[in-house]
Amino acid sequence: MSTLSTHILDISTGLPAEGVRVALEREGEQIAHGVTDEKGRIGELGVGPLAAGSYRLIALIGEWFGASGRETLYPCAQIDFVIREAADEHYHLPFLIAPGGWSTYRGS
């Protein structure tokens, strides 16, 4: 079974995004949630090992930007990913955010 972590960096300021609410869904049902720490990280999303299946990691960036008086076009950023049956590895899926966009990559 696999594990998951994330972190969020605001590339418009060059700083970690502390206090962003994040949720993990599996097949449309929320299975875990958390809030990024002062380093913009969530080491484990409050869920044990992940079984094979389709998942969605959602960062509620709109409310986070709004709390600091900044507007964004995007209420959330989401990563859809699949864990294969044979997978037994760690998935680190970070978000790079800015008011005008966001991106992701598979980290280590």
CATH number, position 82: 2.60.40.180
Closest CA to 95 of 105, 86, 84: 105
Question: How many separate domains does the chain show?
Answer: 1
For residue 77, the model assigns a pLDDT of: 98
Query: Along the 108 residues of the chain, how does pLDDT read in single tens digits?
Result: 788 999 999 999 999 999 999 999 998 999 999 999 999 999 888 777 888 899 999 999 999 999 999 999 999 999 999 998 866 788 999 999 999 999 999 998
Position 47 scores a pLDDT of 77
**Residues spanned by the domain of 92:** 3-99
The reported pLDDT for the residue numbered 48 is 76
